Structure 1
Amino acid sequence: MKHPVDVHVGKRIRHRRWLIGMTQQQLADKVGIKFQQIQKYETGMNRVSASRLWDIADALDVPISFFFEGLAGEAEAPMREITGDILADKEALALVRSYYAIPEAQRRRLFELAKVLSDAA
C-alpha cells in the first residue's frame, strides 16, 4: 500500500522535473538509475531512500525540503488539496514554466497585472 508521504514526495519530483523540462530518462541518467525507477518514485509505488532523494534534489536543483513542502500538519489539508489539483493540471504547469522563462523585470510586471485582474474579478 502506498504511504501518503511517498506519494507526496513522488508528485513533487514529477512536478519539478516537468517544470524544468526534464524527462524521466534524463533524470534517471543524472541519478544513475533506470527511468522505470523514476516512474515508481513519482507514483509513490517505491519509497525514495535518503541518499537517492539527495541525488534527485541535486539533479533537480532544489533543496531536500522542497519534496516535503505541504506536509506540516492537518491544518494544511485544504491547501494541499488545492496545490495538488493545480500541480496535476498540465495547463497550469505550462503556465508556470512559461512564466519563469520571462525575464525577471517583465515577470514582475506580469505578476502585478495578474494580481490586479484577479482582484477585479
Structure 2
Amino acid sequence: MKHPVDVHVGKRIRHRRWMNGTTQQQLAEAVGIKFQQIQKYETGMNRVSASRLWDISKVLGVNVSFFFEGLEVDHDAVPNASDMPADILTDKEALELLRSYYAIPENQRRRLFDLARVLSEAA
C-alpha cells in the first residue's frame, strides 16, 4: 500500500522535473539509476531514500524541503486539504499554466499574479 507521503513526494518530483523540462531518463542518468526507478518514485510505488532525494534535489535545483511542501505538520503527514483539487500536480493544464507563468519576466509575472488574486477574490 502506498504511503501518502511517498505519493506526495513523488508528485513533487514529477512536478519539478516537468517544470524544468527534464525527462525521467535525464533525471535517472544524473542520479545514477534507471528511469524505471524514477517512474516508481513519481507514482509513490517506491520510497525515495534520504540520500537519493538529496541527489534529486540537486539535479532539479531545489531544496529537499520542496518535496514536502503542502504536507501537514501533524504525525499523520496527510497532504493539506485546500480549495485546490487533490490532484493539482497531475493536471496537465495546471502544469502548463505554471510553466507559462514562470516563462514571463518577473516584473510582468508579479502584475499577472496580482491580477489573478483580484479576480479570484471577486469570484
Shift in Å, 1:83: 5.8
TM-score by length of 2: 0.87
Cα distance change of structure 1 residues 113 and 70 upon mapping to structure 2, 3 Å threshold: closer
Cα RMSD after superposing both structures:
1.9
User: Structure 2: which 5+ runs fail to align?
Assistant: none
> Is it true that 1:58 corresponds to 2:61 in the alignment?
no
> Is it true that 1:112 corresponds to 2:79 in the alignment?
no
* Count, aligned residues: 120
The structure with the greater share of residues assigned to helix is: 1
* Deviation digits for residues 2-32 of structure 1 (CA, Å, limit 9, x no counterpart): 2221111111111111112111011111111
Q: Match for residue 87 of structure 1?
A: 89
Shift in Å, 1:70: 2.1
TM-score by length of 1: 0.88
Distance 1:10 1:83 in 2: 17
User: Structure 1: which 5+ runs fail to align?
Assistant: none
Q: Match for residue 96 of structure 1?
A: 98
Question: What percent identity do the matched residue pairs reach?
Answer: 75
CA contact (8 A) 2:3 2:44 kept: yes
CA contact (8 A) 2:8 2:79 kept: no
Distance 1:83 1:12 in 2: 15
Structure 1 residues 104-113 or 91-100, which shifts more? 104-113
